[in-house]
Amino acid sequence: MWRWSKLACVYLVGAVPSLCAAGCVRPPLDPGCAELSPGDLVISEVRGPQTGTDTRGQWVELYNASADRIALTGVQLVLRPLASSASTITVRDSQLSVASGDYTVLAVDRTCSTDTCVTRLPPDADYGFGADYTRDLPSGAIVEVWSCGTLVDSVLYRALPTAGTLALSGAAPPDAALNDSASNDAGDVVPPWCVDDEPAQSPSVEVGLPGTPGGANRVCP
């Protein structure tokens, strides 16, 4: 986990409620949030914009590495592109939770042009970003997970595959101590991360290389 970013981001995260109050169209956030410790939620897979026709969407997968079920209301996903300003997505679904040892998928579900917005929750997603984020996932970024002012996990990547997903190896349960950097300075994916470009294992009406959303990742080569 990128420890330095916790101090760097306290002001930003604290400012999010006032920004949302001015511009969000979603219902107000319910009071409270999960009191989590660093490493309780682990970023385990990221699917960005794909080349060609794709219906599986863009998303970030989180793994519950704690011993308890985690209520995700109030958890924040902060996207810090390497070349632009940060965006914060706040989970506002009071019913959304993830069991110990299980996965949840948070996804881009609304894309907007200058004159219209199209809303579609990807088929493997549990929660959509809504108006909090309406663009492609950044090609290079630091992704952070926050809850109640605590930095729970963070991952740096400098490139996203355009065919398949950026996946943490399934050789062991996802661990926040091991997932800090997914690529080197040249943008090449480095262990324990890899590109999962395996085709779907069963017939589907969806188009695109799926990765393993909501389940254990494949073991990286």
Element (H, E) at 135: none
Q: Give 2-34 as a DSSP string.
A: -THHHHHHHHHHHHHHHHHHHH--SPPPPS---
221 is a domain residue: no
174 is a domain residue: yes
Query: Does 132 have pLDDT greater than 70?
Result: yes
Query: Does 59 have pLDDT greater than 70?
Result: yes
Mean pLDDT of the 144-156 span: 99
218 is a domain residue: no
Q: pLDDT, tens digit, for every residue of 208-218?
A: 999 999 999 99
Report pLDDT for 1: 58
59 is a domain residue: yes
219 is a domain residue: no
Total domain count, the chain: 1
Q: What is the CATH number of the domain that holds 123?
A: 2.60.40.1260
Report pLDDT for 10: 37
202 is a domain residue: no
155 is a domain residue: yes
Share above pLDDT 90 across residues of the chain, in percent, rounded to a whole number: 80
Report pLDDT for 20: 40
Report pLDDT for 207: 96
- Host domain of residue 113: 4-22+36-196
30 is a domain residue: no
